[in-house]
Amino acid sequence: MKPLILYETTTFAEAVQLLDTNGSGFLPVVDEAGKLYGIITDGDIRRAVLHDKRHLKDIINTKPVVAQTSESRRSIVNRLFELKRRHMPVVDASGRYVEVIVLNDFAKRELTNRVVIMAGGLGSRLGELTRHIPKPMLNVNGKPILQKIIESFRAAGFGSFTLCLNYKPDVIQDYFRDGSTFGVSIDYTIEEKRLGTAGALCLVEKSKLTESFLVTNADIITSLNYADFLDAHNKSGAIATVCLKQYSMQMPYASIVTDDQGNLISLEEKPLVPFDINAGIYAFSPAALKYVPQEEFFDMTSLLLMLKDDRQKINTFRMDEYWIDIGRPVDFDRASQEYL
């Protein structure tokens, strides 16, 4: 999209003409160095005409919401859906205009696959924060964690949800109800006793899980492209796909590598050691449900090991997007800061 370069001589008429040429109702405005100065929309032009304004600096929105080149396109699109906006300019680290992401270019697929969210945990590691409220309803910058998760799935095209509840279920049901306020359909299962991260699947009506479905924990905020994750599962022919995230942990000691004779090859002081962790997001084919016992405590690790022991194919999907598991107060504080 061609930006308007703001010189002292740039006129209102030039802005209108370029806005019309771009044909998207959006015009990025840059200074002579190429840095984003602001934006003009067709709505700004209409208001300018109504109020008889013709000076560009009175019309330009100089504080637009912008994205960085380091952000993934999926993350930017999710932000557009959440903010209910059609355009977002992208700038580099020095503030130079790079491009604009237009929501219409990312037509949302409407997916019929169900999302099962395990939202019954006690959140005991969060202490006083969850004494009177279930962990999925803790607010991160004004919205419950669970709402952010549902909105992220909705932005990827998912519209059917089952929330598996146990601890203080009324708080969640009273907030989300049937989901229509959030543009989705929601139903619920209630555990009379704790069934674990996989055991609650036995309570979901099998008629709602006749095609591949996703399962996620209700304490994870991520910019993962859920539709791509589902596609990878379906293409793999696996009965289950586990989402992986690379995690690094600093060793408290120096790491030494030697050869077979004991000679020192290398030494590194307190290195960061990378490894893959389970991101708490899964895709399953309906055939996996026959491995879930009825009304028994059964966690996801047990299900995956049972599938493996039965020589069923289990796929993995490595994600590079943002991911945080809100399990401790420090994670909750970090999520609140990072989500800004």
Q: State mean pLDDT over 153-165.
A: 93
On whether both 126 and 98 belong to a single domain, the answer is: no
Cα-only R_g, the chain: 25
On whether both 41 and 97 belong to a single domain, the answer is: yes
Token readout for 255 is: 């790491």
**Is residue 124 scored above 70 in pLDDT?**
no
On whether both 188 and 42 belong to a single domain, the answer is: no
pLDDT of residue 239: 98
Domain end: 63, 80, 105, which one? Answer: 105
Q: Torsion over CA of 164, 166, 168 and 172, rounded to 10 degrees?
A: 0
**Is residue 123 scored above 80 in pLDDT?**
no
Asked whether the beta carbons of 164 and 114 are under 8 A apart, the reply is no
Domain end: 67, 89, 105, which one? Answer: 105
d(CA 167, CA 132): 10
Domain count, the chain: 2
Token readout for 162 is: 């089952």
Q: Average per-residue pLDDT in the chain?
A: 88
On whether both 157 and 254 belong to a single domain, the answer is: yes
| H or E segment to which residue 28 belongs | strand 26-30
On whether both 101 and 127 belong to a single domain, the answer is: no
pLDDT tens-digit map of 184-210: 999 999 998 889 889 999 999 999 999
**Contacting residues for 172 by C-beta, under 8 A, at least 6 apart:** 119, 134, 136, 137, 146, 163, 165, 188
| H or E segment to which residue 252 belongs | none
Q: Considering the entire predicted model, what is its pTM? A: 0.69
Confidence category of residue 96, pLDDT binned at 50, 70, 90: very high
Asked whether the beta carbons of 321 and 223 are under 8 A apart, the reply is yes
Question: What SS3 state is found at 214?
Answer: strand
On whether both 120 and 95 belong to a single domain, the answer is: no
Asked whether the beta carbons of 241 and 233 are under 8 A apart, the reply is yes
On whether both 166 and 312 belong to a single domain, the answer is: yes
Sign of CA dihedral 18, 23, 24, 25: positive
pLDDT tens-digit map of 267-321: 988 888 888 999 999 999 999 999 999 989 999 999 999 999 999 999 999 998 8
On whether both 42 and 132 belong to a single domain, the answer is: no
Determine the structural domain holding residue 87 and report its residue range.
4-105
DSSP 35-55: BEEEEEEHHHHHHHHHTT---
CA nearest to 197, candidates 230, 242, 164, 170 = 164
Assign residue 316 the CATH number of its domain: 3.90.550.10
On whether both 62 and 157 belong to a single domain, the answer is: no
Q: State mean pLDDT over 225-241.
A: 95
**Is residue 50 scored above 80 in pLDDT?**
yes
CB atoms within 10 A of CB 330: 9
d(CA 153, CA 161): 10
pLDDT of residue 75: 76
Confidence category of residue 108, pLDDT binned at 50, 70, 90: low
In the chain, which residue ranges form alpha helices assigned H by DSSP?
A: 12-22, 42-50, 56-59, 73-83, 145-155, 169-176, 196-199, 226-236, 300-309, 329-338
**Is residue 163 scored above 80 in pLDDT?**
yes
d(CA 238, CA 240): 5
d(CA 139, CA 225): 23
pLDDT of residue 107: 57
CA nearest to 36, candidates 103, 94, 75 = 94
On whether both 158 and 307 belong to a single domain, the answer is: yes
Q: Does residue 237 come out as left (phi exceeding 0), alpha (psi in the -120 to 50 range) or beta? A: left
Domain end: 53, 85, 105, which one? Answer: 105
Q: Which amino acid is it at 207?
A: S
Point out the least confidently predicted range of 120-129, 141-150, 245-254, 298-307. Answer: 120-129
Q: Which amino acid is it at 308?
A: K
Asked whether the beta carbons of 300 and 291 are under 8 A apart, the reply is no
Question: What SS3 state is found at 16?
Answer: helix
CB atoms within 10 A of CB 193: 9
On whether both 26 and 157 belong to a single domain, the answer is: no
Assign residue 37 the CATH number of its domain: 3.10.580.10
**Is residue 135 scored above 60 in pLDDT?**
yes
pLDDT of residue 128: 67
| H or E segment to which residue 124 belongs | none
Confidence category of residue 106, pLDDT binned at 50, 70, 90: low
Sign of CA dihedral 86, 52, 29, 16: positive
Q: State mean pLDDT over 31-58.
A: 89
On whether both 196 and 221 belong to a single domain, the answer is: yes
Q: State mean pLDDT over 46-53.
A: 86
